[in-house]
């Protein structure tokens, strides 16, 4: 069937001609096709070269943000208050995750401590993220959790462990109220923050110094141009603009003093503000109870936050700046000084105190029922004689009181350099008409003269007023940021500071010394209201004034009977500065519901002053 011999059959001319024609035909086809291919290549490589070149670069070049390291916060002795520690994040890349839902279920099982809602929310976000983009779970793993994950890594393809820097507060709860904290950037934050500066950053300052000096602390992100392969892995770094690290900040706070006071206050509710009268540097700004700012860095859990929020002692409130208390008798030295300067009384005038003052059929009681007897102005400060002020006040009037107290900052915000400060209330006729729509009654002037009634002040205001008094009228501005100079010494020249400060006009220097002497006597003489607290101070003089603020309203909370009783106790106040002749520290303290100022507030303040002058201010 198959011929096995090959015969070189002579091809016919016709056949050869047909064949050769077809060869020429296919040569033509080949030429047409090749010309077509070259046309196609010309189209791609010549006419669309730019487009494809940029696509090739877009393919391979990606720009990554290098988030800056947040600046550290130090106290005045360079003790670290806020720094950064490395911690771990879980980085997700969708294209490498094989079983999406199963992965997240396993993750929940492995880390039951991470809130389920956080994981669910994140898994939704991840679904909308480009396949090859890394997305970190907004949760910081502890060393232990990181180790747990590392051991189970094989179960989680597409998830990598990534080390990064996390804000940390090594002093824990100490100083949280001025320091504040950072937290995850919220939608509200995005409204005010410059988006470009926050690319790659996860947190921003929420309150306190962290918020106030956010601009300095945050720094500027760097950029890194990298070449990536098709899997998105970095092959080569082409160009790096390093991030500009956030500035380090030095505060005026002395954390030793801060912690000393915090320890003294213990679990009481209260606030202490200590200021250097020389330059307004805030040496301590205490509000108790406090809480741990580290809780907020990664986003506090709902349970933890509710616990803080519902705590009846209200630890979240910064009492030093937002606690509005009737200043009570602590206003007496200021009123006394005003009365002398404005001629409503003299250093020799005496009045008789029967224990009360009667006006329009109403008895205004002195704190001491049996009265103080014959009393001059100095004694009215030393023993805190209410009657003296009741009497004077009708001559002075509420607007007169206002003019005496307002130069010391009462009724205004101090303008301290952290956010959230509330103003106080220093009533006047105009103020009452404006806010209450009512005229001022003279009876109200009487109680206003001893810092009660409408009067409200914050501890920072009280401290500022005390410092101004200590300065004999030289006005200082409380601040927490240490001036941008190298010196971190306490010794700052008061003369030099004086040149740049405002001064309350002084009619008679003697009036100031007279009032201050009254404050010294209240600490250093047996009849003084702070004698028990200050009797052991021998080698320098403290000028102080106690205060007891009656608690008027508690309509916003329910308490059981015991607690109600406790909550109705007066607040205990004390203001002081020392050494009296050459003041280096001014302190204002309020302890809520602790009774008389001499019993609780004064001892803490005096111990604070003593500790500062003996141990710290060398």
Partner 1 sequence: MTNTWLTDKERNYVKPKTWLARIHIDGLLLLGLIMLLITGLITIYSASGGDLNVTKHHAIRILIAFSLMLAFAQIPPAKLALITPWVFLVGILMLVAVIVFGDMGKGAQRWLDLGFIRFQPSEIMKLALPMMVAWLFAYSRYPAHPARFMLGLFIVGLTAGLIVIQPDLGTSILIAMSGLFVLFFAGLPWKIIVGALFSVAIAIPVVWNFLHAYQKQRVLTFLDPESDPLGAGYHIIQSKIAIGSGGLEGKGFMGSTQAHLEFLPESTTDFIFSVFAEEFGLIGVILLLTLYSLVLLRGLYIAYRAQEAFSRLVAASLTMTLFIYVSVNIGMVSGLLPVVGLPLPLISYGGSSMVTLMISFGILMSIHTHKKMLSN
Considering beta carbons, is residue 12 or 370 the nearer one to partner 1? 12
Q: What is the DSSP letter of 122?
A: H
Query: Helix, strand, or coil here: 575?
Result: strand
476 contact partners, CB below 8 Å, separation of at least 6: 275, 277, 278, 279, 280, 464, 467, 468, 497, 501
Applying CB under 8 A, does 127 fall inside the site for partner 1?
A: no
Q: Which residues pair with 87 in a beta bridge?
A: 164
Applying CB under 8 A, does 15 fall inside the site for partner 1?
A: yes
In the complex, minimum distance from the CB of residue 9 to partner 1, in angstroms, rounded to a whole number: 6
Applying CB under 8 A, does 65 fall inside the site for partner 1?
A: no
- Quote the radius of gyration of the chain (alpha carbons, Å): 37
Considering beta carbons, is residue 20 or 216 the nearer one to partner 1? 20
Among 26, 98, 195, 303, the residue binding partner 1 under the rule CB under 8 A is: 26
Applying CB under 8 A, does 77 fall inside the site for partner 1?
A: no
Torsion of Cα atoms, 444 then 449 then 454 then 455, to 10°: 170
User: Which of the residues are catalytic?
Assistant: 329
In the complex, minimum distance from the CB of residue 98 to partner 1, in angstroms, rounded to a whole number: 17
Considering beta carbons, is residue 11 or 553 the nearer one to partner 1? 11
Among 28, 59, 215, 216, the residue binding partner 1 under the rule CB under 8 A is: 59
Stretch that binds partner 1, among 2-10, 113-121, 318-326, 610-618 (CB under 8 A): 2-10
Look-up of token digits 């986003």: 299
Applying CB under 8 A, does 129 fall inside the site for partner 1?
A: no
Using CB atoms within 10 A of its CB, is residue 296 exposed (0-12), middle (13-18) or buried (19+)?
buried
Applying CB under 8 A, does 100 fall inside the site for partner 1?
A: no
Applying CB under 8 A, does 510 fall inside the site for partner 1?
A: no
Applying CB under 8 A, does 44 fall inside the site for partner 1?
A: yes
> The dihedral of CA 223, 227, 229, 235: what is its sign?
negative
Q: Which of 249, 247, 252 is nearest to 492 (CA)?
A: 252
Applying CB under 8 A, does 27 fall inside the site for partner 1?
A: yes
In the complex, minimum distance from the CB of residue 486 to partner 1, in angstroms, rounded to a whole number: 51
138: its two tokens: 């907004």
In the complex, minimum distance from the CB of residue 124 to partner 1, in angstroms, rounded to a whole number: 21
CB 324 within 8 A of CB 354: no
Q: Which of 130, 161, 169 is nearest to 298 (CA)?
A: 169
Considering beta carbons, is residue 15 or 129 the nearer one to partner 1? 15
535 contact partners, CB below 8 Å, separation of at least 6: 524, 526
Applying CB under 8 A, does 133 fall inside the site for partner 1?
A: no
Applying CB under 8 A, what is the total number of residues that bind partner 1?
Answer: 47
Among 28, 40, 102, 430, the residue binding partner 1 under the rule CB under 8 A is: 40
254: its two tokens: 């002395």
In the complex, minimum distance from the CB of residue 134 to partner 1, in angstroms, rounded to a whole number: 18
> The dihedral of CA 518, 523, 524, 525: what is its sign?
positive
Applying CB under 8 A, does 439 fall inside the site for partner 1?
A: no
Applying CB under 8 A, does 2 fall inside the site for partner 1?
A: yes
CA angle 348, 352, 355 (to 5 degrees): 135
Strands of the sheet containing 222-228, edge to edge, are 61-66, 222-228, 234-241
Applying CB under 8 A, does 23 fall inside the site for partner 1?
A: yes
Cα diameter, the chain = 154
* Interface pattern 343-372 for partner 1 (x via CB under 8 A): ------------------------------
CB 568 within 8 A of CB 540: no
Applying CB under 8 A, does 238 fall inside the site for partner 1?
A: no
Applying CB under 8 A, does 46 fall inside the site for partner 1?
A: yes
| CA–CA gap between residue 44 and residue 37 (Å, rounded) | 11
CB 567 within 8 A of CB 542: no
Strands annotated E in 60-126:
61-66, 73-74, 80-93
Applying CB under 8 A, does 128 fall inside the site for partner 1?
A: no
Among 86, 129, 186, 229, the residue binding partner 1 under the rule CB under 8 A is: 229
Termini Cα distance of the chain = 122
Neighbours of 118 (CB within 10 A): 15
Considering beta carbons, is residue 41 or 491 the nearer one to partner 1? 41
Considering beta carbons, is residue 15 or 582 the nearer one to partner 1? 15
30: its two tokens: 């080949």
Stretch that binds partner 1, among 43-51, 267-275, 440-448, 524-532 (CB under 8 A): 43-51
Stretch that binds partner 1, among 117-125, 207-215, 224-232, 499-507 (CB under 8 A): 224-232
In the complex, minimum distance from the CB of residue 60 to partner 1, in angstroms, rounded to a whole number: 5
Applying CB under 8 A, does 34 fall inside the site for partner 1?
A: yes
Residues that bind partner 1 (CB under 8 A): 2-12, 14-15, 18-20, 22-23, 26-27, 30, 33-34, 37-38, 40-42, 44-46, 48-49, 51-53, 55-57, 59-60, 227-231, 235
């Amino acid at each position: 069937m198959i011929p096995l011999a090959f015969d070189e059959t002579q091809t016919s001319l016709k056949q050869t001609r047909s064949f050769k024609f077809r060869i020429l035909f296919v040569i033509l086809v080949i030429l047409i096709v090749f010309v077509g291919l070259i046309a196609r290549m010309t189209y791609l490589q010549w006419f669309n070269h730019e487009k494809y070149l940029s696509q090739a670069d877009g393919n391979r070049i990606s720009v990554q943000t290098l988030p800056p390291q947040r600046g550290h916060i130090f106290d005045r002795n360079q003790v670290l208050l806020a720094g950064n520690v490395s911690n771990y994040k879980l980085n997700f890349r969708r294209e490498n995750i094989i079983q999406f839902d199963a992965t997240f279920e396993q993750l929940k099982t492995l880390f039951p401590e991470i809130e389920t809602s956080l994981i669910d929310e994140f898994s939704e976000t991840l679904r909308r993220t480009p396949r090859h983009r890394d997305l970190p779970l907004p949760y910081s793993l502890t060393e232990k959790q990181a180790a747990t994950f590392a051991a189970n890594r094989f179960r989680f393809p597409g998830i990598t462990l990534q080390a990064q820097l996390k804000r940390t507060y090594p002093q824990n709860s100490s100083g949280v109220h001025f320091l504040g904290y950072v937290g995850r950037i919220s939608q509200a934050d995005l409204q005010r923050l410059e988006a470009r500066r926050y690319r790659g950053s996860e947190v921003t300052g929420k309150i306190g110094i962290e918020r106030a000096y956010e601009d300095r602390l945050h720094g500027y992100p760097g950029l890194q141009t990298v070449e990536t392969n098709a899997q998105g892995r970095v092959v080569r770094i082409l160009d790096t603009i390093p991030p500009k690290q956030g500035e380090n900040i030095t505060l005026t706070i002395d954390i030793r003093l801060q912690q000393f006071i915090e320890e003294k206050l213990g679990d009481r509710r209260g606030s202490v503000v200590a200021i250097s009268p020389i330059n307004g540097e805030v040496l301590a700004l205490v509000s108790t109870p406090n809480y741990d700012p580290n809780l907020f860095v990664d986003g506090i859990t709902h349970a933890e936050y509710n616990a803080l929020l519902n705590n009846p002692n209200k630890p979240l409130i910064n009492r030093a700046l937002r606690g509005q208390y009737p200043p009570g008798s602590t206003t007496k030295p200021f009123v006394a000084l005003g009365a002398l300067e404005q001629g409503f009384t003299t250093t020799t005038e005496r009045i008789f105190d029967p224990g009360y003052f009667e006006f329009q059929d109403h008895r205004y009681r002195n704190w001491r029922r049996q009265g103080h007897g014959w009393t001059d102005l100095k004694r009215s400060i030393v023993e805190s004689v209410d009657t003296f002020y009741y009497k004077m006040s009708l001559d002075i009037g509420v607007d007169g009181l206002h003019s005496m107290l307002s130069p010391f900052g009462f009724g205004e915000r101090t303008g301290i350099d952290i956010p959230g400060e509330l103003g106080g209330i220093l009533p006047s006729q105009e103020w009452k008409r404006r806010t209450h729509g009512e005229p001022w009654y003279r009876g109200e002037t009487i109680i206003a003269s001893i810092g009660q009634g409408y009067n409200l002040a914050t501890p920072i205001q009280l401290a500022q007023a005390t410092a101004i008094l200590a300065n004999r009228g030289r006005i200082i501005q409380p601040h927490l940021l240490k001036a941008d100079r190298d010196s971190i010494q306490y010794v700052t020249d008061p003369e030099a500071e004086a040149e740049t400060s405002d001064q309350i006009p002084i009619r008679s220097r003697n009036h100031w010394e007279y009032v201050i002497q009254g404050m010294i006597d209240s600490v250093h003489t047996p009849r003084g209201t702070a004698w028990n607290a200050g009797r052991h101070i021998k080698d320098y003089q403290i000028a102080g004034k106690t205060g007891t603020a009656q608690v008027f309203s508690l309509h916003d909370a329910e308490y059981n009977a015991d607690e109600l009783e406790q909550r109705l106790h007066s607040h205990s106040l004390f203001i002081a500065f020392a050494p009296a002749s050459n003041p280096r520290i001014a302190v204002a303290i309020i302890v809520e519901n602790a009774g008389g100022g001499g019993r609780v507030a004064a001892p803490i303040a005096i111990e604070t002053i003593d500790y500062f002058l003996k141990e710290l201010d060398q």
